[in-house]
Amino acid sequence: MTDFCELTLETKGYYGVHFSKQLDQITCLVFDMKSLWIEVVPLATLIKRQKEQNPTLDCTEALIDQTLLAGCSANYSADTVDSCVQFAAKYYLNNYPITFKFSLIRATTQEVSHRYIKPLWRTLLRQEAEIRALVEELKRKDIEIAQYQAEGARLNRTTVQTDTFDERKFRQEFPVRLPEESVYVRNLLDSDVHRSILMKILELEQSSGSSDRNNTKLPVSITQHMNSPSRRRKKRATGCRCYKDFDRVRT
């Protein structure tokens, strides 16, 4: 579960908060754009802490699953004591307050890489792959529409008519503008070689479905479909029926 809240650690600002469970351990991460604080605590220890501060509450693993790991709304607080951050997450379950406490320390360089930088890069590469797949799908749809038109189909509802997808124009007119960067990530993502190297570094594998899509050749170009009378005569000779209604051109 990942949340975002305003806290005061070294400075006041917005921090990410993340809880996860692996085997019998709970990991608490608090991070901003510069640093990451962490505690990995055994589940039994976290339950013991809760019972010490509230003996009347029967704290169990199921209770932790329902609050800390379920994405419930929480109130967070943090106090810096020496080099540690005393972090608390307070929940209300059936109007009953439940508070879990953690003692966070600043993460090492290796932990920052493992828990923060690499996940960001993996997400970035996945989103880039999704965008590329969607762009190819749009191009195939445009070719499909052009083929329908070449076979005599017409669009009755012109209000749903769209222009042919222009990838260059789409990227230029995208509403988010990036500031000047010391490392221009776009150059790495645009290169097949660099993306392949990044995937190996980040221990990512390309799914069989995406590789099949990448290896699929696009159909004949739009102009060839529209300007080939012999193809159209052949269609008519074999009794191919032309589509007259074309209400839905994009699926």
**pLDDT tens sequence for the chain (251 residues):** 688 889 988 788 999 999 999 989 999 999 998 889 999 999 999 999 988 888 888 889 999 999 999 878 899 999 988 889 999 999 988 888 889 999 999 999 999 999 889 999 999 999 988 999 999 999 999 999 999 989 998 888 888 888 899 988 888 887 777 777 666 787 788 888 888 888 888 888 776 555 555 554 444 444 444 444 444 444 444 444 444 444 444 44
Do 153 and 67 fall into the same domain?
Answer: no
Residue 64 falls inside a structural domain: yes
Concatenated DSSP letters of 157-169:
-GGG--PPP-HHH
**Which range of residues forms the domain containing residue 174?**
111-202
- Residue that is last in its domain, among 107, 128, 147: 107
3-state SS string over 62-125? HHHHHCCCCCCCCEEEEEEECCEEEEEEEEEECCEEEEEEEEEEECCHHHHHHHHHHHHHHHHH
Q: What is the pLDDT of residue 181?
A: 67
C-alpha span between 148 and 226 (Å, rounded):
9
Question: Residue 162 falls within a domain, yes or no?
Answer: yes
Dist. CA 40–CA 22, nearest whole Å: 10
Q: How many domains are there within the chain?
A: 2
Check whether residue 67 and residue 36 sit in a common domain. yes
∠ CA 179-181-184, nearest 5°, is: 115
221 located within any domain: no
pLDDT the model gives residue 1: 65
pLDDT at 212: 53
CATH (domain of 37): 2.170.210.10
**pLDDT for the residue 17:** 94
pLDDT the model gives residue 231:
47
- Give pLDDT, residue 203: 84
CATH at residue 136: 1.10.287
Instruction: Establish if 84 belongs to a structural domain.
Output: yes
| pLDDT at residue 16, rounded to an integer | 92
pTM of full prediction above 0.75: no
